[in-house]
Amino acid sequence: MNRRQLLASLGISGLALSLKGRSQTIASLTKPVNKPIVLSTWYNQSKTANVPAWKILSEGGTALDAVEAGVQVSENDPENCCVGLGANPDREGIVTLDACIMDHKYQIGSVAALEQIKSPIHVARLVMEKTPHVMLVGAGAQQFAVQNGMELQGLELSFHAKRAYEEWLRKSEYKPVMNIEKGHGPYIAPGDEANEFNHDTIGMIAMDKNGNLSGACTTSGMGFKMRGRIGDSPIIGAGLYVDNEVGAATATGQGEEVIRICGSFLVVEFMRQGMSPEQACKKAVERIKKNTPKDANTIQVGFIAINKKGEYGGYALHRNFDYGVTDGNGDTKKIDSKFMMQ
Ligand code: ASP
């Protein structure tokens, strides 16, 4: 008679099994929280953007300061195709920027269609901290930024954005296919390495040493977009969401699809139901695939998420989505996201 049979014969197998289950639960409850930690979309950006964020976190700073400083690296990079004033313009040749920020106390700030201002994420933070509102757009957002000491920049396109725009103008094709094939996106000037990657928004989420979560998301939106088009990135609940009791999530890819399902909010709610960050991201991607009125073969969406234990994950509709995670000793790991469609 083996142990299980003996326990069964004594009528205590259920008890033994439930004790085993409880010891596993206790083990996972007592596992130390993985903090501080920061992660951001697209490793190509994370590898530099996570650096100042990590510095702030490792010195005991707040997740809010970390994510703002982190995404500003991409905003300030004149070679970034898709974030900040160096990014690709809209159809009319004007760079318009969107950003949002959220902290651990449900405080939110957002700007959209902001022109000629270098750091939209900073303006979003000012909206959060200095106004009774949560979102400013267009000329009003710009005026607010200038009133708060930010300089109005020129309208010239960066070297790379100009080349990409001129190339796009040749056909003026409005075909928002993104990130499925590196180097084969419709917006890429041939041979233009800075634009080789047709991505994208930087979404960054972090947990500080006090266990508080914050997130930031900033973008120029889809390259050569229709003038006035706003994607998910400045929309709280779509491009970014933080609930300090549960976790945080951010998105990249086809903004319309992310907005359609309230993507980042949904990921956080799935985590609230007990899913791991990766499972939660996968469920949100599944919902997009199932419900999009578009051909799911032609769109890309990716989510990353973190929970209160400092566990993280991501998931994308198609291949070629990656993200960077910095924790532990401060090294930034490149994670190739799992994906749903071949
Ligand atoms: N989500 C952004 C938008 O739709 C773009 C991106 O992430 O590539 O504007």
Tell me the two tokens of residue 212: 């508080």
The pTM score is 0.88
* Ligand 1 pocket test target in 254, 300, 317, 321 with most atoms within 8 Å of CB: 254
| 312 has pLDDT over 60 | yes
Catalytic residues: 201
Asked whether residue 10 falls in the same domain as residue 73, the answer is no
Asked whether 324 lines ligand 1 (CB < 6 A), one says: no
Query: Which CATH number goes with the domain that contains 63?
Result: 3.60.20.30
Backbone angles phi, psi at 38, to 5 degrees: -140, 140
For ligand 1, atom 9: residue with the closest CA? 221
The β-bridge partners of 115 are none
| 87 has pLDDT over 90 | yes
Asked whether residue 24 falls in the same domain as residue 129, the answer is no
For ligand 1, atom 5: residue with the closest CA? 221
- State pLDDT tens for residues 180-197: 544 323 333 334 443 344
Q: Which atom of ligand 1 is nearest to the CA of 199?
A: 8
Asked whether residue 145 falls in the same domain as residue 192, the answer is yes
Instruction: Give the other-Cβ count within 10 Å of 117's Cβ.
Output: 22
Q: How many A from CA of 260 to the centre of ligand 1?
A: 13
Q: Note the Cα 194 to chain centre separation in Å.
A: 21
- State pLDDT tens for residues 59-75: 999 999 999 999 999 99
Q: Which atom of ligand 1 is nearest to the CA of 230?
A: 9
Q: How many A from CA of 98 to the centre of ligand 1?
A: 9
pLDDT band at 266 (very low <50, low <70, confident <90, very high): very high
Q: How many A from CA of 103 to the centre of ligand 1?
A: 21
- State pLDDT tens for residues 31-56: 899 999 999 999 999 999 999 999 99
* Per-residue confidence (pLDDT) for residue 92, from 0 to 100: 95
121-127 average pLDDT score: 98
* Per-residue confidence (pLDDT) for residue 21, from 0 to 100: 54
Can you tell me whether residue 57 is helix, strand or coil? Answer: helix
Asked whether residue 12 falls in the same domain as residue 61, the answer is no
Q: How far apart are the first and last CA of the chain?
A: 50
Asked whether residue 160 falls in the same domain as residue 242, the answer is yes
| 81 has pLDDT over 50 | yes
Nearest to 64 by CA among 120, 97, 105, 110: 105
Number of domains in the chain: 2
CA distance 9 to 280: 42
Instruction: List the domain range (segments joined by +) for residue 22.
Output: 1-30
